[in-house]
């Protein structure tokens, strides 16, 4: 696989191996992400996409290989140490605190660096959350919970955002809003790794796509070349 976008990478993953107990789920993941890019990890269910994000973040129970962020090796660090370097993850399960209202959820994560978005700017990006700022997590719709999960990591000052299936199960109007938000975040200098099943959505926001299969990256497709590679992509994804 040729990866021409490797010079000056903000994130460089090389030979990443990962395990859950005795289950070997990552078999040498290799990819890079340059500053200001939106890059997607595409693949079938169980291909290793979410495990890759967890491996980057140090949450995977056991991992080997190399993960370099901003030139620094982080494979041996704990998740809290990795977060303080400027990486934030929005997990698929969202992790909203149900007993806290929207504003309290937003204020919970600590700032780790300058450059985080203000609450006012976050409400500009997610006007639904501004309307529901006093509502408890239990009172939010699925789409509002997903918006809050993304919004919560924007205050921290993290510059690399790992988003796991942010559009799963959401209404098309909410998917469109999340797409607009990702585009706005890119314009503001954020770098994003996006795990996504909906490759049509991925095509609307991403610069490049890495295809993951059986714990390995098997191809990289620039977004500009996506249409020319649709047959291959359908074969990869089984759609």
> What proportion of the chain, given as a percentage, has pLDDT over 90?
76
pLDDT at 199: 82
Overall average pLDDT of the 145-170 stretch: 92
pLDDT at 39: 98
- For residue 124, report the phi and psi dihedrals to the nearest 5 degrees: -65, -40
Overall average pLDDT of the 70-95 stretch: 92
Q: How far is residue 234's CA from residue 218's CA, in Å, rounded to a whole number?
A: 14
- For residue 127, report the phi and psi dihedrals to the nearest 5 degrees: -60, -25
Q: How far is residue 207's CA from residue 161's CA, in Å, rounded to a whole number?
A: 15
Residue 4 has pLDDT above 50, yes or no: no
Which pTM value belongs to this model?
A: 0.92
Pick from 57, 53, 59, 48: nearest CA to 23: 48
- Token pair, residue 171, equals 């209404």
What is the tens place of the pLDDT at every residue in 38-76? 999 999 999 999 999 999 999 999 999 999 999 999 999
Report strand pairing: 72-73 vs 87-90: unpaired
What is the tens place of the pLDDT at every residue in 194-233? 998 888 899 999 999 999 999 999 999 999 999 999 999 8
Overall average pLDDT of the 102-111 stretch: 90
Who contacts 124 (Cβ-Cβ below 8 Å, separation ≥6)? none
Structural domains of the chain ordered from first start: 11-237 (3.40.50.300)
Q: How far is residue 25's CA from residue 17's CA, in Å, rounded to a whole number?
A: 7
Who contacts 83 (Cβ-Cβ below 8 Å, separation ≥6)? 57, 112, 156, 158
Q: How confident is the model at residue 1 (pLDDT cuts 50, 70, 90)?
A: very low
CA triplet 53, 132, 167: central angle to 5 degrees? 30
Sheet holding 191-195, edge to edge: 87-90, 160-164, 191-195, 38-42, 208-213, 216-222
Overall average pLDDT of the 147-151 stretch: 92
Q: How confident is the model at residue 2 (pLDDT cuts 50, 70, 90)?
A: very low
Q: How confident is the model at residue 239 (pLDDT cuts 50, 70, 90)?
A: low
């Amino acid at each position: 696989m040729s990866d021409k976008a490797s010079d000056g990478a903000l994130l460089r993953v090389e030979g990443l191996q990962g395990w859950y107990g005795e289950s070997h789920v990552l078999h040498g993941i290799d990819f890079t992400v340059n500053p200001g890019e939106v890059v997607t990890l595409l693949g079938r269910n169980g291909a290793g996409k979410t495990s890759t994000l967890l491996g980057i973040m140090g949450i995977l129970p056991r991992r080997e290989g190399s993960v370099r962020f901003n030139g620094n090796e982080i494979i041996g660090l704990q998740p809290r140490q990795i977060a303080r370097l400027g990486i934030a993850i929005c997990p698929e399960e969202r992790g909203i605190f149900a007993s806290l209202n929207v504003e309290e959820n937003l204020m919970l994560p600590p700032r780790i660096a300058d450059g985080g978005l203000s609450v006012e700017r976050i409400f500009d990006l997610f006007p639904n959350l501004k309307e529901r700022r006093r509502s408890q997590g239990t009172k939010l719709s699925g789409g509002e919970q997903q918006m809050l999960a993304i919004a919560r990591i924007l205050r921290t000052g993290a510059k690399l955002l790992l988003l796991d299936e942010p559009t799963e199960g959401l209404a098309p109007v909410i998917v469109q809003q999340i797409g607009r938000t990702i585009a706005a975040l890119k314009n503001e200098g954020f770098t994003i790794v996006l795990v996504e099943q909906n490759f049509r959505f991925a095509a609307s926001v991403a610069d490049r796509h890495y295809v993951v299969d059986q714990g390995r990256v098997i191809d990289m497709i620039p977004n500009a070349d996506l249409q020319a590679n649709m047959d291959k992509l359908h074969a990869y994804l089984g759609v």
